[in-house]
Amino acid sequence: MLRLFQRGAPRAPVAHFEIAHCGAVHQVALRRLNSARRFTLRVRAASRDVVLTMPARASLKAAREFAERHAAWIGARLDRLPDLVYFEPSSFAPLRGVDHKIVHCPDARGVVWISENDGGPILCVAGDLAHVQRRVADFLKREARRDLEAATARHCAALGVTRRRITLRDTTSRWGSCSSTGALNFSWRLILAPPFVLDYLAAHEVAHLVHMDHSPAFWRVTRRLFPETDRAEAWLKAHGADLHRYGARRD
């Protein structure tokens, strides 16, 4: 079975090997599972890589041969992934679901701020060119924290519960999580999505302060906090992986 995988990255340690096809070299991560009955290839859109899940007793030789037989499929799926977008001048980054053009303002005071021009909203970035990408990323993370703190506070008040700290991470497998101690974790990339998506994830994780599972009771609480749960879930399923296109270039 071959299918495009967008969320739910494996957490178990994996080995890797490389396969070559049409001049390109692709790295394949191996994941052994006792429950696996056959080889399964997945292209993860968020992390832009390939995972081969295999039965625990299968040989590495058989795994490699399986991947090599499907090298064309791997290459085609990777080629279909949208291009990465870096936080560079003249590129566009979504903020609360609206594309903002990044404009370098080297002589201006400040760090990053939102403005408007004839072409629409822009993110103005002061300082040296070498710092533009990092400053845009830091700005987006600050905006994400501000929105998530406000949304979680509102949902906690509605339920009469108290959360601990909020942590922002850059995860590929989860948009949010709630620990047993009441600490909430979110992907900072939620600030790139429309506000109703971020609000939904805040409600989802706050609901876990009442029900640490995904039982019917949990979903009733979530939908009470956020009636548009199905709409937000549908948006994430359709567009969530695309949020991982954006970021600062890694040297």
- C-beta separation of 218 from 211 below 8 A: yes
**Residue 117, amino acid:** N
Length of the chain: 251
What single-letter DSSP state applies at residue 87? S
Which secondary structure element, helix H or strand E, spans residue 236, and what is its range? Answer: helix 229-239
Per-residue pLDDT reduced to its tens digit, 105-126 = 999 988 999 999 887 999 999 9
The predicted pLDDT at position 14 comes to 52
The predicted pLDDT at position 171 comes to 87
Which CATH architecture group holds 92-247?
A: 2-Layer Sandwich (3.30)
Residue spans of the domains in the chain: they are 2-80, 92-247
Closest CA relative to residue 26, chosen from 84, 70, 60: 70
Per-residue pLDDT reduced to its tens digit, 6-65 = 344 444 445 888 888 888 888 898 989 999 899 999 887 767 788 899 998 999 899 999
**Which residues have CB under 8 Å from 185's CB, separation 6+?**
166, 167, 168, 169, 171, 174, 176, 177, 178, 179, 205
Per-residue pLDDT reduced to its tens digit, 116-165 = 988 799 999 999 999 999 999 999 999 999 999 999 999 999 999 998 89
What's the half-sphere exposure (Cβ side, CA atoms, 13 Å) at 83?
4
Q: What integer is the mean pLDDT of 192-200? A: 98
The predicted pLDDT at position 5 comes to 36
Q: What integer is the mean pLDDT of 199-210? A: 97
Q: Given its phi and psi angles, is residue 176 left (phi above 0), alpha (psi -120 to 50 degrees) or beta?
A: beta
For 133-234, strand residue ranges (E) read: 166-169, 176-178, 184-187
Which tokens belong to 216? 């019917």
Per-residue pLDDT reduced to its tens digit, 57-96 = 999 899 999 989 998 888 888 888 888 899 999 999 999 9
Which secondary structure element, helix H or strand E, spans residue 125, and what is its range? Answer: strand 120-126
